Amino acid sequence: MFVRRLRGQWFSSVAVTACRALRTFAGPAFALAAILCAFVPIGQAQQGGSSTKCPPATRKDDVVEQIHGVSVADPYRWLEDQQSPETRAWIEAEDKCTDAVLSAIPGRAEITKRLTELMRVDTVGLPVERGGMYFFAKRGANQELFVTYKRKGLDGPDEVLIDPHPLSADHSTSAALRAVSRDGMLAAYGIRAGGRDEVTIHFIDAQTGKDLADSLPVGDYFSIAIEPSKQGVYYTLQGVQGTRLFHHKMGTDASTDEVVFGKGYGRDKILSAQLSADGRDLLITVIYGSGSTRSELYFKDLQTGGAVQPIVNDLDSLFFGEAEDGQVYIDTNWNAPHWHVYRADLAHPARENWKKIVPESDATIESVALTGGKVLARYVRDAVSEVKIFDADGKPYGTVPLPGLGTVSGISSRWDSSEFFFSFDSFNVPASVYRYDLGKRAAEIWAAPKVPIEKNAYSVEQVWYTSKDGTRVPMFLFYKKGLVRDGARPTLLTGYGGFDLNSAPRFDPSATFWVERGGVYAVANLRGGGEFGEAWHHAGMMEKKQNVFDDFIAAAEWLVSNHYTNPQKLAIEGGSNGGLLVGAALTQKPNLFRAVVCGYPLLDMVRYHKFMQGPFWVPEYGSSEDAAQFKYLYAYSPYHNVKDGAKYPAVLFITGDGDTRVAPLHARKMAARLQAAASSEPGRPILLQYDTKSGHSGGRPLNKQIEEDTDILSFLSLELGNK
């Protein structure tokens, strides 16, 4: 969850090429409904001809814990035990309630039909070139999962390399490429069950398509790098004690793999490793938790076999690098909140020998990649992407032309190649892959989905509003041209506000469906994100987290005061850290919103650090084990701030057993607490949608994605309506 700036070709939760960020916001494509629907009573929902108590009765215990002298009630702690028979029975009853309510809403077939048109199209991911072979993921319009293909040369025929469809009858098991050798002969791929973070690593002969005997056990892998000789593999794996860097010799059992680095690190550290193209230098990054303010760089000369040496490990700043030809290119926020880039000689890595090659500017450097002996810097300016090229000494080489205001979400490049690929999309522009030729200094479309939308029928507007403390905050608005600002437009507001991640313009089929029917889709660029550099991030983390919630509430109030909508027509959504965001908003300003979609959320901020990947997030949030940090965590923790008898908006919680990053217990406990406390107006349900296979890391078949989005849109149409 929320890992900001890991490097490498394929990471544990999302495929990103030559990119700093491990983007792990992996909740559903939350968006809005499309039609005006009749009300379905929630008291006694009918399902299969029998009456089902909805919501089910939930046992409430008198659990009270003394924390730093404060009595903290936790009446639903028993729901933390995910496998207990009582918890499983409760989940089943909640699901029956949710299914009964959602399935009875009229208009679901229309929603599913349009989502199917928007989502069932040929979709192609960023290619990776190795040895003249291009490797990429593609999901055909009639397929449920992404299939890995290879192509010899730019114009060769596509050949299937890894097809996950036969792996499970319900297509809940997926497979994704994680690394390819420099010559394109050997590939590593991960097999994932449901939405879990953990995968099993397999190796395949990329020429014959035959699996090798070698495999790595199921686990959470942060990086995989294959030696040019193909005799060994370096990988970083999170274990019980912490993350370690291992070396695997091909043809041997993984249980005998050597630990190269990381002994002594706890579970709050993240490690990644990459090899230079010539295989000589192994670059190691140590990150002090997700959304961290500190990382370290080390390297090992594999040719001489020397010990691991530090490049920088004594500063409270972030450092990330790319090693090639005996040099390391370092992007850092050390003395530069908007980031800058240094080059260092690995023969003389001391800091006094570093050379600054890309200075800090008024835009924030989001990631750095290397291609054709040059440096690619991906910037974000006012939440919109820019890409600039510099030579190895920092001389400007040019700016990559982009199709418009939008988001470059990934770059695939090689140090010794004159081409690179990038993905671009915006609210009204589906994600397309572009190929850039350094010699021609020109970009052309390499793959584009044929999504049936009229791009010019929509308006994308960026507005600025003032938050509670006077800070100016930007927000994107997406709507159909000719929108009438009558104060009654069904509106969905979303945001994230954490871990230095940007809320950028992205294409979302559900949002498109919503605005087609006259709704407004709003994305607020809250503090805590990375839109304006490290200062913007710091202004929304730790003891300043309340700023994020204030920014979000101010965005909602601006939409109302500027006559886009009103509280009876306003919904909010968020997933993961964004789930915490909407959880705080609904408990702090319940009368401002009509409906809330809260996916895979953090909601018990007193105990979050005790579960799953919680230790990674302490640098972002703090920990209740610290008395000062407990005070502010308890003050905003959504679970602990539900008030008995309050009138809350309708809420749909979404989670599942497959979430092995954010413990599903958060949604379970919060749903129970709200159901018991809420004095709802008629038709304001508190629902829990719990899929045993859904999780943070995606990988679900397309039919399940469409089904879940239909449920979300149906729920919102029940509350807001949208003719």
Catalytic residue set: 576, 696
Query: Residue 573: helix, strand or coil by DSSP?
Result: strand
Could you tell me how many helices (H) and strands (E) the chain has, helices first? 10, 40
Q: Is the dihedral of CA 596, 601, 607, 608 positive or negative?
A: negative
Q: How many Å apart are CA 288 and CA 280, to the nearest integer?
A: 26
Contact criterion met (CB below 8 Å) for 5 and 318: yes
Q: How many Å apart are CA 244 and CA 271, to the nearest integer?
A: 7
- CA torsion 237-238-239-245 (nearest 10°) is 40
> What DSSP letter does each residue of 639-707 carry, written as one string?
GGG--TT--PPEEEEEE-TT--SS-THHHHHHHHHHHHH--PPTT--EEEEE-TT--TT----HHHHHH
Contact criterion met (CB below 8 Å) for 283 and 320: no
Q: 569, 552, 557, 583: which is closest to 655 by C-alpha?
A: 583
Burial annotation 296-322 (CB, 10 A radius, 16+ → b, else e): bbbbbbbeeeeeeeebbeeeeebbbbb
Q: How many Å apart are CA 577 and CA 526, to the nearest integer?
A: 12
Helix (H) / strand (E) element for 47: namely: strand 44-47
Q: Which residues contact 529 (CB under 8 A, 6 or more apart)?
A: 496, 497, 498, 499, 500, 501, 502, 503, 536, 537, 540
Cβ atoms within 10 A of the Cβ of 181, count? Answer: 21
- Sheet containing 364-371: order of strands: 364-371, 374-381, 384-391, 396-399
Place of tokens 């009438």: 484
Indicate the residue type of 711.
D
